[in-house]
Amino acid sequence: MERIVIVGAGFAGLWSALGAARKLDEQGIPGTDVEVAIINPTQYHSIRVRNYEEPLEQTLVPLSEVIEPAGVALIEGTVSDIDPTARRVVVDTRDSVRQLDYDRLVFAAGSKLAHPAIPGLAEHTYDVDTHAGAKRLGEHLRSLPARAATAGRYTVAVIGAGLTGVEIAAELPSRLAGIAGDAARGGIRVILADRSAKIGQEMGGAQPVIERAMRELGVELMPGISLKSVDARGIELADGTRVDAATVIWCGGMRANVMTGRFGVGLDELGRLPVDEFLRVKDVPGVFAAGDCARLLIDGERPSVMSCQHGRPMGRYAGHNVVCDLLGLDMLPLQIDWYTTILDLGPWGAVYTEGWDRHLVAQGAAAKRTKQLINGQRIYPPRHVRKDIFQAAAPVVQAPPPNYAAADS
């Protein structure tokens, strides 16, 4: 029996496995001839991009409800080594260390939050990078009323004003008000800080809208800062400014899974593997990569971004193509000629931009409708029904999400 192994069950990994199972089914090849196995540390597919929200229950999808109908096997564990020459991965499971041979591999182990060597950063910050991290943050915030009424008890400093930093900061004023109650509302302070000269600087035409929304939400903007250290009572900036804060949330950028270094090829500045238009890792036979671990020229010119917008189609095409490669069939190239950014701004609404220069096309309630469609439906896999799952795993590029502002005009 031949084996296709997928490492990771995030957006790219899950859709790689489903895309591979779909193509094998289309070719009439049973699982007894070619096994598709997915390796993941948990039994869940995490809708990671929703970790800034509360509650978190709907952000976990049981893998059994998606992969079992597709005939994909789950190996619950973490890959600790890869030998691309021997075509073998080492998996640390709860009970043992297992060596797993593969005929083809899709590496889709995702990314993790980068932690530079800033004193106290790793020990004293929270994050929403993972479900566990977001859950830990929620538990901490709910514990604040029982703490001593010290300076900064209801101050939250969000460090890093990328998309995740903006989204969690926008949620926090109303979230803290619900936790603290009316008596403590005057003590609530949410700070969004970044090294850039402007908050939301990379958001193009949406940048002024983000600034306005943040101010209306009561978020204090602190651009152009450099973080010197973090301790249990707050942060110190490079200019000596001290901010008392019982909660510091780090949103300082992502790096690809460190296992990309096992393949012996040059990585980009984010630690990603170079892949061609078929998602094959360049110069590594039998290995494909997708999602945050892969650098694809998504439109032939610009590199893919670490987002589910690119991770999901990269997974579907990688899964389709890995089977085609195994069977000697023609593969399909992936190119996406559109790019959108829909950024949640909490109770204020959202912003919707189009193109790589992020031209603003919608804001407020209309953009929020689009964001809710994405977060609540578009990025979720079908469950239980094999036909629906395989239909969703087809190697096609979805149309851009709807712009309700244009539709309503």
Domain boundaries along the sequence of the chain: 2-112+254-338, 121-250
Same CATH fold, 121-250 and 2-112+254-338?
A: yes
Spatial contact of 61 and 381, defined as CB atoms under 8 Å apart: yes
Span 372-388, average pLDDT: 98
pLDDT tens digits, 197-247: 999 999 999 999 999 999 999 999 999 999 999 999 999 999 999 999 999
Judged against a pLDDT cut of 80, whether residue 272 lies above it is answered with: yes
Is domain 2-112+254-338 in CATH 3.40.50.1780, yes or no? no
Output the pTM of the full model. Answer: 0.96
The percent of residues above 70 in pLDDT, for the chain, comes to 99
Confidence of residue 186 (pLDDT cuts 50, 70, 90): confident
Judged against a pLDDT cut of 90, whether residue 181 lies above it is answered with: no
pLDDT tens digits, 352-375: 999 999 999 999 999 999 999 999
Is domain 121-250 in CATH 6.10.140.120, yes or no? no
CA distance 274 to 284: 10
